[in-house]
Structures are given as C-alpha cells and as structure tokens.
Amino acid sequence: MVAETTQERQPMLSVRGIVKRFGGLTAVNKVDLDVYPGEVVGLVGDNGAGKSTLIKCVSGVHQADEGEIFFGGARVHIAHPSAAREMGIETIYQDLALAGNLHVGANIFLGREVKKEYLGGVVKVLDETHMLTESEKVLDSLDIHIPSLTQEINNLSGGQRQAVAIARALYWDARLMIMDEPTNNLGVVEQRKVLSLIRTLRDRQVPVILISHSIHDVFAVSDRIVVLRRGRKVTEKVASETNSEEVVQYIVGARDDTREEIPAN
C-alpha cells in the first residue's frame, strides 16, 4: 500500500531491523524505515518512543546492536557522526550547532574553511571573500535573505538560524537531511518558512526525515508518516491517506498495525 508510489525507485536510505538497547531497555526494536529521493518522511511518536535513538543510529551517534543500514543502495556501517556527514547524511539537531559569536559565512564554512595560499602554501589565510560569496549563493538558492552575512549568528532570529543551518548542510552536499524538531521555539511565520525550506529540499530530491511533536507541521510537509511507539514502528501511512486524528491514535497506542498482524499469523 505504502510502496505504491515509490516502488520503482531505489530508497536513498533503507534501515532494516534496527535494534538498539541501553542496558535492559530496548529503545528501538526491529524497526524498518525507507526514505526515497524527493520525499519527506515524518517520524512521530510520544516521548521515549525511540525516534531520536533511531535517527542517532543513522547519524552515527549510536551504533545499532542489530540490523542493517543501506545508504544509496550500499550497505554502510556508520561508526561516527563525521562518517555519516561524509556520506551526505546531515543531521540538524534542535541546538543547530552554530557558533553564535561567528558570522553567517563563518558558520556555513565552519571546520571546512577555504584558504588562500601565499609563499607556495607556507602561509594560508582565510579567504573570506570566497566564503561569503559562496554563502550568499547557497542562501539565495534557498530563497533566504539575510541582510548581512557578516552578521553574528547571535543577532539573527530563530528562523534565520535554522535557515543558516539548513543552508550549511545543503552547501556540503547533503543527500539526506534529518531534522530534529526544526520548528521548536519559532514564531508562526518563521515556522512556515522552515516548512517551506523542507519542501524546497524535497523538490531538489534531497529527502528529509522530519521529527516533530507538532502533528500539524508533520502533515504540512510529509509525504509519508511513520509512527513509533515504545521502540516499535506501529504504522506507516501515506500522509494524504490518513489524518491527524488517526495518527494520534497510533501515537497513544489506541491503534497498532503490528498488533493486528499478530493474530493473523
């Protein structure tokens, strides 16, 4: 049912039977998840449902105890966050990981600064002009307008910061974007801008996994919705074929597709 729209294409990310335990607690229990190019997957569930743990297994923060991860068709072992980033898996956490005291351009190039070389490479100086021009390009391409790229991040609004974080990930060739509560702490207008950025990413064939407590936001942008409950995937729905009421029932445990399957076996 779910696969209909995506059958012919190869998933960008395919997670198979992931299990992650912390001591006696099974945080993620045999979860499968496919994400196809050009789609937004909403990942929802109550606190402690395993959403964050699941994406941390994909972004390299945790290592799964069981299961396999395929990325771009190949089986991968993601040992470290930087390994995930090198593959093109970018995760934007709630804290955004921006240095507030540095300007927009410096943040987009943080850790990957471009340098001009003098005296045959002995002296390397930051190439601010290049970095600012490139930053402007990527922000323009996302239709983000920040008055001055030499402004400190501290002086920007929450939505602008979110936009800078997204632009940074995109500039460095994100092939999959994972966003953890991107609309938290934002005003209504800014929330809309972030959601529109997510659509932009999708239109560019960069798939997005969106984790959010806001069912409204999830429905606003998601093509598919995956519900986790107590570490298990309880359902997966095409967004246009369900509604928030039904999804909430899955979240709270009133409905459970896996439970229905058990008697069938």
Partner 1 sequence: MAVDSQREAALQPVAPKRLTGMQQFVLTVSRVWGWVFLFLLIVFFSITGTGFLSLRNSQNILVAIVPVLLLGLGQTFIIIAGGIDLSVNYVMGLASVVMALVIRDLVANGVDETLAILVGMALGIVAALIPGLLNGLIVAKLRVTPFIVTLGMAFVARGVGYLLSDGNVVGGQPPGVRLFGNEALLYYIPGDGGGLYFLQRPEAAGEQLRVLERIFPWPVVVLAIVVGFGIFLLSKTQFGRHTYAIGGNREAASRAGILVDRHTILLFVMSGFTAGLAGVLHTARFNGGSAIAGEAQLMPSIAAVIIGGVSMFGGVGTIWGTIIGALIMAVLQTGLVMLGVESFWQWIVVGIVVIVAVLIDQGRDLIKGRAEAQLSE
Interface with partner 1 (CB under 8 A), residue from 129, 133, 150, 155: 155
Interface with partner 1 (CB under 8 A), residue from 46, 65, 113, 257: 113
193 in contact with partner 1 (CB under 8 A): yes
105 in contact with partner 1 (CB under 8 A): no
**Number of residues in contact with partner 1 under rule CB under 8 A:** 36
| CB nearer to partner 1: pick between 168 and 229 | 168
| CB nearer to partner 1: pick between 95 and 245 | 95
Contact segment (CB under 8 A) with partner 1 among 33-41, 47-55, 77-85, 174-182 equals 77-85
| CB nearer to partner 1: pick between 144 and 247 | 144
The DSSP line for the chain is --GGGGTTSPPSEEEEEEEEEETTEEEEEEEEEEE-TT-EEEEE-STTSSHHHHHHHHTTSS--SEEEEEETTEEE---SHHHHHHHTEEEE-TTTT--TTSBHHHHHTTTS--EEEEGGGTEEEE-HHHHHHHHHHHHHHTT---S-TTSBGGGS-HHHHHHHHHHHHHHTT-SEEEEESTTTT--HHHHHHHHHHHHHHHHTT--EEEE-S-HHHHHHH-SEEEEEETTEEEEEEEGGG--HHHHHHHHHTS--HHHHHHHH-
| CB nearer to partner 1: pick between 54 and 164 | 164
Buried b (16+ CB within 10 A) or exposed e, 212-238: bbbbebbbbbbbbbbbbbbbbbbbbbb
147 in contact with partner 1 (CB under 8 A): yes
184 in contact with partner 1 (CB under 8 A): no
Contact segment (CB under 8 A) with partner 1 among 49-57, 186-194, 203-211, 222-230 equals 186-194
146 in contact with partner 1 (CB under 8 A): yes
80 in contact with partner 1 (CB under 8 A): no
Interface with partner 1 (CB under 8 A), residue from 181, 190, 217, 236: 190
189 in contact with partner 1 (CB under 8 A): yes
Q: Which residues bind partner 1 (CB under 8 A)?
A: 81-82, 85, 95-102, 106, 110-113, 115, 124-126, 144-147, 154-155, 157, 159-160, 163, 187, 189-190, 192-193, 196
